[in-house]
Amino acid sequence: MNLIQRMIKKKYLVWINLIRPRRALNSLLTLLSFNLKLLKPWGQPVAVDIEPTNFCNLKCQHCQVSHWQKPKRRLTMDQFSSWIKQFETASRIKLQGMGEPFLNKELPSIIKQLEKDHFYIEVVSNGTVMTDEIYEVVTQTRHFNLTISFDGADKKTFESIRLGSDFDEIKAHLTKIIQAKPRRSKVSASIVGFKEHQEQIKPTIELLGDLGVDEVYLQLIVINFGQDSLDERTVEHRIQMKNQTDPFKIDLYETAKQKGLKMDIADRLFDEESPCPWPWLGTYIDTEGYVIPCCHIGNAEICHFGNLNQQDFRTIWHSKEYQQLREQIKTNRIPHFCRSCYRSAPLEREGHNTRPPSTLP
C-alpha cells in the first residue's frame, strides 16, 4: 500500500484538510505533481518525518543503529519550533527516526505543540520508555497514532530479536495505553517479518489482537538502509515475495479479521509502473537538520539534499539534487540507495551487480 492509499485509509488527510483549506490545496497540488511526475512539485510535502533522536536503548539485530558509532543527538524544542514553521501545509507529522523517540525528554512538549497546530501526529516507538509525562501525552492527544514495534509472540523470540528489551514490560505498557487512549487516536503495532521467524508472525498477530491494538503493519520487505554492506543480510532475511493469493498472506489477513484488527502487509516492491511517491509527497529531517529522501535511508552520510539550519526548505525541495532524484525515479534509473525498495533494481545477491548512475550527494 503506497503513501497516498495509507493516508486516505487513515482518513486524517480528509479531516486535517477540512479545517485547514491551505492544506487541502497543498494536498491537491502535491498529488497532481506526483501523477504528472513534475520535477519541481507545485506543492510542499504532505507528510513529514522528523527524527527526535539518533540513538536507541535496544540493539535490534535488523537495525543499522545497533552498529553506529555516531555522537548521540536529540532534537531540541527550539530546533523543532524553527523547522515546523516551514511545514504549515503538511497534513501529517511523524516523529520517528533512527533512534527511540521517547528518549528525547522534550518529545511530550513537541507532541503538544503539533496537536495545538492541528497536525495528525504519529510516533513509532519500541515501547520501552513510559514515564508519567509520556503516558499522559500519549493517552490524551487526539488524532494521534502510536505505533509500537513488536516482533514475537513469546518472551524468548521477542527478546532475541529486540536485544535489551523486556517482553512482559512492553506488553504491560501497551495494555495500559490501549485502555486509556482517546476515541480518535490509535495504537498500532509494527512487525518485521523475518524469514527465520516466519512461524511467529501469526501468533504475534493473535497476541496483538488480544491486547487490543487497532491495526497491525507487517513489513515483509527487509531493506538495506541504502548501504551496500547490508545487501547480503537483506537478501538472507527477506521472506520470498509472492502474489496476492499467497495462502500464507490470506491466512494472516483472516487471523487479523478474526481478532478485529486492521492489517496492512508491506510486501510489494516499487517498479516502473508503480514508482515510489515519496520524492513528491514527503520528506525526512534528521536531528541535525539534514533533509534526507526518506526514513528507509535515514542517514545523511548516505544521501542528503541540504540542511534546514542553513537553507529554507522550499529552496531544498526545488533544488537540482532533489529534481535529479525525481528524474531518476521517473525514468526508472534507480539510485543505488533506493534499490532495496525496487523490483527493477535488485540487490547484488539476486543477480545484478551494476549500479544505476547517480550523482546525488
Q: Mean pLDDT throughout 148-155?
A: 96
Cell 491494538 belongs to 213
- Is the confidence at residue 266, as pLDDT, over 90? no
Fold of 3-350: TIM Barrel (3.20.20)
Return the closest-CA partner of residue 118 out of 214, 23, 10, 52: 23
Percent of the chain at pLDDT exceeding 70: 83
- Cβ neighbors of 354 (< 8 A, separation 6 or more) are none
- Contact between 131 and 158 (Cβ < 8 Å): no
Strand, coil or helix: what is 146?
A: strand
DSSP lists the bridge partners of residue 50 as 95, 285
- Is the confidence at residue 152, as pLDDT, over 60? yes
Q: What is the DSSP string of 88-140?
A: TT-SEEEE--SS-GGGSTTHHHHHHHHHHTT-EEEEEE-S----HHHHHHHHH
Residues 1-37: pLDDT tens digits? Answer: 455 555 555 555 555 555 678 998 999 999 999 999 9
Please report, for the chain, the start and end positions of each structural domain, with discontinuous segments joined by +.
Answer: 3-350
> pTM for the whole thing?
0.88
Residues 75-87: pLDDT tens digits? Answer: 999 999 999 999 9
- Contact between 154 and 54 (Cβ < 8 Å): no
